[in-house]
Structure 1
Amino acid sequence: MPRPALDPAASMALVVAVLAVSTSGPLIAFATAAPAMAIAFWRNALAVGVLGPISLFARRAEYANLARREAAFCALAGVALAAHFAAWMPSIRFTTVAASTALVATQPVWQGLISVAQGRRLRTVTWAGIGVAVLGAVLATGADFGVSSRAVLGDLLAVLGAVMAAAYTAFGERARVTLSTTTYTTICYSVCAVLLLVVCLASGQSLGGYPSTTWLAILGLVAGAQLLGHTMFNYALRRVSATTISVLILLEVPGAGLIAWLWLDQVPPAASLAGLALLMVGVLIVVLGGAHAGRRERERARLQVETAA
Structure 2
Amino acid sequence: MVVFLLMLGVLGVSASGPIMAATAAPALAIAFWRNALGALIMGGPAVVSKRTEFAGLGRRDLYRLTVAAVALALHFACFVTALKLTSVAAATALVCLQVAWIALFDALRGNRPSAAVVLGLGIAFLGVVIITGFDLSLSPQALLGDVLALAGGALAGIYQMAGAAARRTLSTGTYTTLCYGGCAAILLGMCLVFQQPLSGFPPAAWAGILAVTLVAQIMGHSVFNHLLAVMSPLVVSMVILLEIPGAAVLAAVFLNEQLPAGTYVGLGLILVGLAVVVRGQGRRRSRKATLDAAGGPPPVLGGN
Q: Give the TM-score of the pair, scaled to structure 1.
A: 0.80
Q: In 2 relative to 1, CA 104–289 (structure 1 residues): closer, same or farther, beyond 3 Å?
A: closer
Q: Deviations over 1:179-215 (max 9, x none)?
A: 2111111111011100111111222222122222211
Task: Report the more deviating stretch, 202-211 or 272-281.
Answer: 272-281
In structure 2, do the counterparts of structure 1 residues 284 and 101 end up closer, same or farther at CA, with 3 Å as the change threshold?
Answer: closer
1:101 pairs with 2:92: yes
Matched, 1:260 2:265: no
Q: Residue deviations 1:124-164, cap 9 Å, x none?
A: 21232344355457769996246333223222222221221
Identity of aligned residues (%): 42
Q: 1:81 to 1:96 in 2, by over 3 A?
A: same
1:277 Cα deviation from its structure 2 partner: 5.4
1:21 equivalent in structure 2: 13
Of 74-83 and 197-206, the range deviating more from structure 2: 197-206
Residue 191 (structure 2) pairs with residue 176 (structure 1): no
Deviations 1:75-101 (A, max 9, x none): 210100000111121121122223322
Q: Which residue of 1 aligns with 2:63?
A: 72
- Number of the residue aligned with 1:285: 276
2:206 is the counterpart of 1:204: no
After superposition, where does 1:39-78 map in structure 2 within 5 Å? 39-78=30-69
Does the 8 A contact of 2:72 with 2:155 survive in 1? yes
- Aligned residue for 2:142? 151
Aligned pairs for 1:230-245 within 5 A: 230-232=221-223, 240=233, 245=237
1:13–1:192 CA distance, 2 compared to 1 (3 A)? farther
Corresponding residue for residue 301 of structure 2: none
Alignment of 1:177-192 (within 5 A): 177-192=168-183
Per-residue deviation at 1:50?
0.4
CA contact (8 A) 2:68 2:163 kept: yes
Work out the number of aligned pairs and report it: 290
Q: Could you tell me how far 1:15 is from its partner in structure 2?
A: 5.9
**SS of residue matched to 1:177:** coil
Shift of 1:235: 6.2
Between 208-217 and 186-195, report the one with greater CA deviation.
208-217
Q: Secondary structure at the match of 1:192?
A: helix
- Conserved? CA contact 1:181–1:235, under 8 Å: no
- Tell me: CA distance 1:141–1:59, structure 2 relative to 1, closer, same or farther (3 Å): farther
How many Å separate the matches in 1 of 2:274 and 2:170? 28
Give the Cα–Cα distance (whole angstroms) in 2 for the partners of residues 204 and 108 of structure 1. Answer: 33
Q: Which moved more, 1:83-92 or 1:284-293?
A: 284-293
Specify the alignment match of 2:22 in structure 1.
Answer: 30
Unaligned runs of 5+ in 1: 1-7, 303-309
**TM-score calculated relative to the size of structure 2:** 0.81
Read off the aligned partner of 2:54 and give its amino acid letter: Y
Structure 2 unaligned segments of length 5 or more: list them.
294-304
What is the identity, as a one-letter code, of the residue corresponding to 1:187? L
Alignment partner, residue 109 of structure 2: 118
The Cα offsets for residues 195-246 of structure 1, whole Å up to 9 and x where unpaired, read as 11111122222212222221111111101221233445566789748xx95x
SS state of the match for residue 135, structure 2? coil
The question of whether the paired residues in 1 share the 8 Å contact of 2:132 and 2:143 is answered with no
